[in-house]
Chain A
């Protein structure tokens, strides 16, 4: 499983590789199940990407969401200089993340 942006991983997923500092010191071990609190802590530490195991609860949703985000990015390609289009993109991405949150609940 490739690394995912931290914003896209969900509680219940397990790390498939350890989270380390830039110097290589392990902060969180492989196999650790992510919780909302842990994700928040990683974010606070400036961690941007983590590798999570596929197949765990929520993993499929996370992968689907990541695919949808990629599709939105591709659709809006070429409109980067258009402020109106970029605002629309923000709305779409926000609703995508929001819809996922409600599915989870």
Chain B
């Protein structure tokens, strides 16, 4: 098993290895000031045509359910909010998520989209604020698996082997082989990227819910969404098992089984097909 500190420093080192385009750094700096307008950020994004195109592609992927196509970054900023666009910019620029996910683990992208859809649907039923942001947490909840696969190819192969041999959860194999989970790895990276805690926490703790931790409601949504997506067999999260639902998360959400049934009904292979894939 690797030393945890070594794993962390290698994960954090990714931000140096993968060059973040200068424009992204400028955008992050702008967002950090907090006084900047949507138009100013849009102008910055617009300077990088590839980046702008990727952000718009993500926004129009069907994932956010806008009826009309969003054709300008400013429009996207207004509709989705600065934090979502910031996260989109980061993911679109640094990781070509779709390709990398499916190169690494066939079906991980579909699992991510399914979890995002389920998270969005649950948040909507609970009339939570910032449904899009919560859906995005669902989309990125397994980003740590991509990072593990890229950064630790030997361990990744061994994790796959352990899962295949024992038919266990991937997170159990990770604990044994790597000493840390994909959730922690994801957290380190997203923190390094300066994403806000309301995006980082639900991803960091989707396998380790605690009712008194910050953003417990969002974390509970992602935790449940992941399980529902797995239960329905949509996509492939890296194993064929189900984590147990945390009863405290269920309590925090205050849903009933009619809600679960409704969310599950829309969670199908067809519903995740064609989203950027």
Measured between C-beta atoms, what is the minimum distance from B235 to chain A in Å?
13
**A76 vs B240: C-alpha distance in the bound complex, in angstroms?**
9
A87 and B257 within 8 A (CB): yes
Interface positions, chain A 61-75, Cβ under 8 Å from B, are 68, 71-72, 74-75
Chain A at the B interface: SS class: helix
B229 to chain A, nearest CB (A): 11
Asked if A85 meets B247 with Cβ closer than 8 Å, knowing A75-B231, A95-B264, A95-B265, the reply is no
Cβ contacts A8-42/B at 8 Å (1 or 0 each): 00000000000000000000000000000000000
CB distance from A75 to the nearest CB of B (A): 5
Instruction: Determine whether A1 belongs to the interface, using a CB cutoff of 8 Å to chain B.
Output: no
> In the bound complex, do residue B265 and residue A85 qualify as a contact, i.e. CB atoms below 8 Å apart?
no
Task: Report how many residues on chain A are interfacial, defined by Cβ distance under 8 Å.
Answer: 19
Using an 8 Å CB-CB cutoff, how does the interface string of B198-236 with A read, 1 for contact, 0 for none? Answer: 000000000000000000000000000001101111000
Give CA–CA (A1, B56) in the complex, Å: 51
CB–CB B231/A92 < 8 A: yes
Is the pair A71, B233 in contact by a Cβ cutoff of 8 Å? yes
B230: chain A residues at CB < 8 Å are: 75
Which residue from A68, A71, A85 sits with its C-beta under 8 Å from B245? A85
CB of A68, distance to nearest CB on chain B (Å): 7
Contacts of A71 in B (CB 8 A): 233, 240
- Number of inter-chain CB pairs below 8 Å: 46
Within 8 A of B (CB), among A50-68: 68
Query: Quick one: which of A85, A87, A89 has the most chain B CB within 10 A?
Result: A85
* Distance, CA A91 to CA B267, complexed state (A): 12
A83 to chain B, nearest CB (A): 10
Chain A residues contacting B232 (CB-CB under 8 Å) are 92, 95
Q: Closest residue of chain A to B265, judged by CB?
A: A95
Contact partner of A91 (CB less than 8 A), chosen from B242, B245, B247, B264, is B264
Contact surface of B with A, Cβ cutoff 8 Å: 227-228, 230-233, 240-242, 244-245, 247, 250, 257, 260-261, 264-265, 268
Binding site for B on A (CB under 8 A): 68, 71-72, 74-79, 82, 84-85, 87-89, 91-92, 95, 99
Q: Give me 25 A-to-B residue pairs in the complex whose CB atoms sit less than 8 angstroms apart, sorted by A's number.
A: A71-B240, A72-B231, A72-B233, A74-B240, A75-B231, A75-B242, A76-B242, A78-B241, A79-B242, A82-B245, A84-B245, A84-B247, A84-B250, A85-B242, A85-B244, A85-B245, A87-B257, A88-B227, A88-B231, A88-B245, A89-B231, A91-B257, A91-B261, A95-B264, A95-B265
